[in-house]
Structure 1
């Protein structure tokens, strides 16, 4: 086999799927012809630095597609080349379009894995074949902002939902995302065998930390949030940033604000900001999604895509 296979551990696409895609392309392009023997799973696995079972998984998928078959001591042999190359005019046209686009992407400095990820995400968005995903928050602006950010990262539409403004029966999603602030509440609302609820880590926006760091050390800082649990989490975040003279406020009356010179509140709550800003300095606590959490979501979505694809092929 003269053609070269390359795999990337950093890609969102499972390694076995990368092998399947590349071998299928080689067969369609005539780089691998009928009767040609594929390397043994151990040999190819050693060559790629991966487990032989991963290669065996890929070969099993190629057998299911009718592109190879096992022939005893001869191992896996290509058998579906002729059929694979009788592609439609639409497929050939698509390959030409993608080839031109890929060249431009390379000229822009993108790597092959980045181009592959973009094509996959765009195809899923266009066809609407990805898993259904929702993001739940307690504030409409934050729900929409985080949903759009996740959407850009994982390449599937993400529906923003606001706690208290939807019924559980209205949420038809395979994957529901929220923050650890609301995990218990969302899981309580959306119990069901067909829905996974996953919590994401959020951290303070750098601008929030800069503004909080400018507070004189002698000033007392209060935190007013939706729940004590959320306020305590923010207090811990501030403590990690070196702000220790912080206390959680039970209310916003004069007795609660006595001696307090700065109050930290959630971003996107104009009513609370207006209520406090004439009495104390107000800092809105902006959040950003943790990069590791976004990678985890990409992995989950990739698994759901693969599962959906396998189920669809099995049903057909």
Structure 2
């Protein structure tokens, strides 16, 4: 059972106390000190042991839940889920484990105890985490948020966190830079208003192949847009209209009546399972979205400038 003495908090640190708790518990779960299925002390009990406000521990537990490391079972308490097979088998995780294995063995040879090494690693990890530039991408559905966050991560050389509108608390999301599309810019800026976070809009454009196939549909016929949300479908329709394609309509369903007179249905490339709803009745293509090249250059420059500012 986890005890208060297993967690150390530094009240003089610039790192928020809840973040110190998250980092230490994450380390203990990753390292196997806290095993899957193990119940953590209640937020009230751990707070009492550490002489903290209960909400501080509750905040830390909530963030661990968002990381997929613990799960709340109501009156059954908060249970460790563990890092999971996918998380532990990633190349980055394996490389980090090898680096830490070598470093900890060298520390043991220097005469440090396991608890001293853990405290040192925790302090260094907290400092490194604070120094790391935090970037998020906000969209209105999880598939698009995840897809473009991964694309942006590859271009800017750091992890971009995907966030879905309506499914996160902006007050608890720490970010130096928040990226979104122009369609959601005003809403996203409102969520981070008054905070030291830069919000930037990027252009997500349809792939040329998508435009060519849509343009090939006779003008007296109709192209239907089917997305998980009507707002997103409407946004796609408006984007296509700006390119001169006006025979576009937003589909409100997938019945024969809904697709009557429709020659082609466009679905999101990140949700190909939607294609089965139209099989055998109408042609279906993916709406292949791509990041605008100018937007990528702009984001790369912004990230570079912000990294330099953090170093200073």
Task: Tell me the equivalent position of 2:249.
Answer: 247
**In structure 2, what is the Cα distance between the partners aligned to 1:305 and 1:137?**
24
Contact kept? 2:224, 2:249, Cα under 8 Å? yes
Tell me what 1:172 maps to. 174
> Which of residues 280, 304, 307 in structure 2 aligns to 1:305?
307
Structure 2 distance, partners of 1:128, 1:189, is 22
Equivalences for residues 224-303 of structure 1 within 5 A = 224-225=226-227, 230-270=232-272, 272-303=274-305
**In the superposition, relative to structure 1, how do residues 228 and 214 fare at CA in structure 2: closer, same or farther (>3 Å)?**
same
SS where residue 183 of structure 2 aligns? coil
Supply the distance in 2 between the matched residues of 1:218 and 1:228 (Cα, whole angstroms): 24
Unaligned segments of structure 1, at least 5 residues: 1-125, 311-316
Q: CA–CA distance in 1 between the matches of 2:211 and 2:149?
A: 23
Q: How does 1:127-138 map to 2 (within 5 A)?
A: 129-138=131-140
Structure 2: gaps (5+ residues): 1-127
Q: CA 1:181–1:253 in 2, change beyond 3 Å: closer, same or farther?
A: farther
Q: Deviations over 1:90-128 (max 9, x none)?
A: xxxxxxxxxxxxxxxxxxxxxxxxxxxxxxxxxxxx998
Partner of 2:62: none
Aligned mates of 1:154, 1:128 — CA distance in 2 = 18
Show CA shifts across 1:161-183 (max 9, x none). Answer: 23343332442111111112332
Following TM superposition, by how much is the alpha carbon of 1:229 offset from its aligned partner in structure 2, in angstroms?
Answer: 5.2
Q: Secondary structure at the match of 2:199?
A: strand
1:132-211, aligned counterparts within 5 Å? 132-211=134-213
- Following superposition of structure 1 onto structure 2, how do residues 99-110 of structure 1 map, counting pairs within 5 Å? none
Secondary structure in structure 2 of the residue aligned to 1:263: strand
Change (3 A) 1:274 1:190: farther
Structure 1 pair 210–246 and aligned structure 2 pair: CA distance change class (3 A): same
Q: 1:106-121, aligned counterparts within 5 Å?
A: none
Contact 2:147 2:270 in 1 (8 A): no
1:259-308: CA deviation from partner (whole Å, max 9, x where unpaired): 22322232223454333344332222121111111121122212212322
Q: Which residue of 1 aligns with 2:5?
A: none
* Inter-partner Cα distance in structure 1 for 2:200 and 2:233: 21
Shift of 1:206: 2.6
| Aligned counterparts of 1:301 and 1:212: Cα–Cα separation in 2 | 36
Contact 1:179 1:201 in 2 (8 A): yes
Q: Is the 8 A contact 1:130 1:156 kept in 2?
A: no
Contact in 2 for aligned 1:213/1:243 (Cα 8 Å):
yes
Going from structure 1 to structure 2, the CA distance change for 1:195 and 1:208 (only over 3 Å counts) comes to: same
After TM superposition, list the pairs within 5 Å mapping 1:211-230 onto structure 2.
Answer: 211-225=213-227, 230=232
SS of the equivalent of 2:310 reads helix
3-state DSSP of counterpart to 2:180: strand
- Give the secondary-structure state (helix, strand or coil) at the position aligned to 1:299: helix
Q: TM-score, normalised by structure 1?
A: 0.50
Question: For the Cα contact (< 8 Å) 1:181–1:229, is it kept in 2?
Answer: no
